[in-house]
């Protein structure tokens, strides 16, 4: 979901710096709380893993430009269920930054928009998970309907933010509406894939129950109510 260069220019970019700073600040708050509860080392290990995975998602998995942005298989809900909100949020920010610095420097001016577009939906599904997944259920046991709800919320949030940046940068016009609609239609196809990926990864996690005490995954993956 890289916002294409030129969608937002000039002084309008200042808004993206502000929204990104707010998102990163909130992610830092969640990370601090996680570190206090579970320790700094598990948080660091999970962050390294999520950063590497996000870099892989952006740079290696298929992606293609549609309308005002690009369609990527980010698998945000999968990262959240496996590693937790803080590592997933930091991993998204760092993986996106690494991809820009190493392979796509032309995307760096859009970094604030892209970070906002990823982190707001990720932090939102963290709150949604608290509502739709009972405390008595470990993440490895989530149902397809729950995985679908998380995926739809994440991907829908991404599309909403891309639309916001497009209309903010170019104004409301039929051409912008057409490009946003093309992107939204293409991107929401990811919703058909991500819940399946979630359940496949979680099914694999069930078979590796010896990993339940591993610091590499969120404690909620194997234990309810933590």
Residue by residue, pLDDT tens for the chain (226 residues) are 678 788 898 899 999 999 999 999 999 999 999 999 999 999 999 999 999 999 998 888 877 787 788 778 888 999 999 999 999 999 999 999 999 899 888 889 999 999 999 999 999 999 999 999 999 999 989 988 898 889 889 988 998 999 999 999 988 889 888 988 988 888 777 777 777 887 888 788 777 767 777 889 998 998 887 6
Distances (CA, A) of 61 to 53, 71, 187: 10, 10, 14
Q: How far apart are CA 135 and CA 149, in angstroms?
A: 17
Q: Is 171 helix (H, G, I), strand (E, B) or coil?
A: coil
Q: Give the chain's domains with CATH numbers.
A: 10-221 (1.10.1760.20)
Q: Token pair of 149, please?
A: 């709800």
**CB count in 10 Å sphere of residue 84:** 26
The phi and psi torsions of 177 (rounded to 5 degrees) equal -60, -40
């Amino acid at each position: 979901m890289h916002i294409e260069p030129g969608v937002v220019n000039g002084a309008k970019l200042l808004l993206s710096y502000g929204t990104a700073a707010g998102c990163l600040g909130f992610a830092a708050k969640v990370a601090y709380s996680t570190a206090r509860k579970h320790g700094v080392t598990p948080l660091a290990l999970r962050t390294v893993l999520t950063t590497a995975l996000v870099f892989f998602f952006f740079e290696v998995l298929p992606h293609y430009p549609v309308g005002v942005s690009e369609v990527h298989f980010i698998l945000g809900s999968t990262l959240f269920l496996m590693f937790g909100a803080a590592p997933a949020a930091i991993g998204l920010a760092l993986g996106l930054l690494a991809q820009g610095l190493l392979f796509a420097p032309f995307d760096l001016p859009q970094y604030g928009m892209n970070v906002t577009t990823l982190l707001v939906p990720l932090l939102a599904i963290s709150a949604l998970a608290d509502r739709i997944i009972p405390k008595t259920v470990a993440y490895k046991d989530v149902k397809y309907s729950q995985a679908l709800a998380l995926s739809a919320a994440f991907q829908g949030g991404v599309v909403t933010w891309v639309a916001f940046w497009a209309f903010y940068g170019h104004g409301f016009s039929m051409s912008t509406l057409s490009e946003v609609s093309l992107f939204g239609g293409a991107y929401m196809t990811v919703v058909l894939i991500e819940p399946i990926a979630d359940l496949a990864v979680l099914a694999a996690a069930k078979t590796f129950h010896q990993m339940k005490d591993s610091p590499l995954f969120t404690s909620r993956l194997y234990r309810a109510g933590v």
